[in-house]
Amino acid sequence: MDINCSLAKQMIAEGAQLVDVRSTSEYMQGCLPGAQSIPLDVIQAAEKMLEKDKPVILYCVSGARSGMAKMALQNFGFGEVYNLGSFRNFFAC
């Protein structure tokens, strides 16, 4: 995790993009409010689905997949990418 709950919520309120990198079936079982689903195995699609000039906040179950997605997005040229870690961290504040 490299962003805390309160900062994540503030950034989302200011227009940051919230991305759920869990599988589609996990996403369908429930997601954070306003989250967009881009599973880790198709993260390359993010280049067409996200705006590179807006911050991106990623989450999954444990933080492992969102950490991998963060590295991938940075390699694709996204400047501001944050790993919230587990979706549970969103409710920690």
Question: 81: which DSSP letter?
Answer: E
60 classed as catalytic: yes
Task: Tell me which of 5, 31, 60, 93 is the catalytic residue.
Answer: 60
Query: Could you give the C-alpha distances from 11 to 16, 28, 70, in angstroms and in order?
Result: 5, 24, 17
**Tokens standing for residue 21:** 């990198």
Residue 39 sits at φ, ψ, to 5 deg, of: -55, 150
Residues labelled as active-site residues:
60
